[in-house]
């Protein structure tokens, strides 16, 4: 018979709110427990990101990036790692080359909490 706590569930960090990417782009993160959604419209591009908490301060998911002028949709992977209460690291990469994003696309950004 085991005594004590064998494993303790990790609390899900709250990353909801407004975050600014190091290139100035602003993101509004909405969170419901382990699920996070980000919706962003820039010019003719509509972005929807859905992520799930994976543990160890890491969220992973995908971005659907749709060009509203021609309907073309491409998909990118997203990984967000919380570095502190006010900063996180974002890594994104292309999952296809359906539209204007080459399959070789990868980028890393720093996001800073704004509210």
pLDDT at 10: 72
Q: Where do the structural domains in the chain lie, given as residue ranges?
A: 29-113
Quick: pLDDT tens for 5-62. 444 567 999 999 999 999 999 999 999 999 999 999 999 999 999 999 999 999 999 9
User: How many C-beta atoms lie closer than 10 Å to residue 80's C-beta?
Assistant: 27
C-alpha 111/C-alpha 22 separation (Å) is 6
**How many CA within 13 A on the CB side of residue 13?**
18
pLDDT at 4: 41
pLDDT at 9: 61
C-alpha 62/C-alpha 112 separation (Å) is 20
Q: What is the pTM of this model?
A: 0.87
The number of helix segments (H) and strand segments (E) in the chain equals 0, 8
Quick: pLDDT tens for 84-107. 999 999 999 999 999 999 999 999
Total residues found in the chain within this entry? 115
């Amino acid at each position: 018979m085991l005594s004590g706590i064998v494993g303790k569930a990790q609390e899900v960090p709250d990353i909801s709110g407004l975050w600014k990417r190091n290139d100035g782009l602003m993101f509004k993160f909405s969170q419901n427990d382990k699920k996070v959604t980000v919706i962003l419209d820039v010019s003719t591009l509509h972005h929807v990101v859905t992520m799930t908490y994976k543990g160890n301060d890491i969220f992973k998911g995908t971005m659907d990036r749709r060009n509203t002028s021609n309907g073309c949709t491409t998909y990118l992977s997203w990984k967000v790692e919380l570095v502190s209460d006010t900063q996180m690291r974002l890594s994104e990469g292309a999952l296809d080359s359906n539209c204007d994003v080459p399959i070789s696309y990868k980028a890393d950004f720093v996001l800073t909490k704004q509210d």
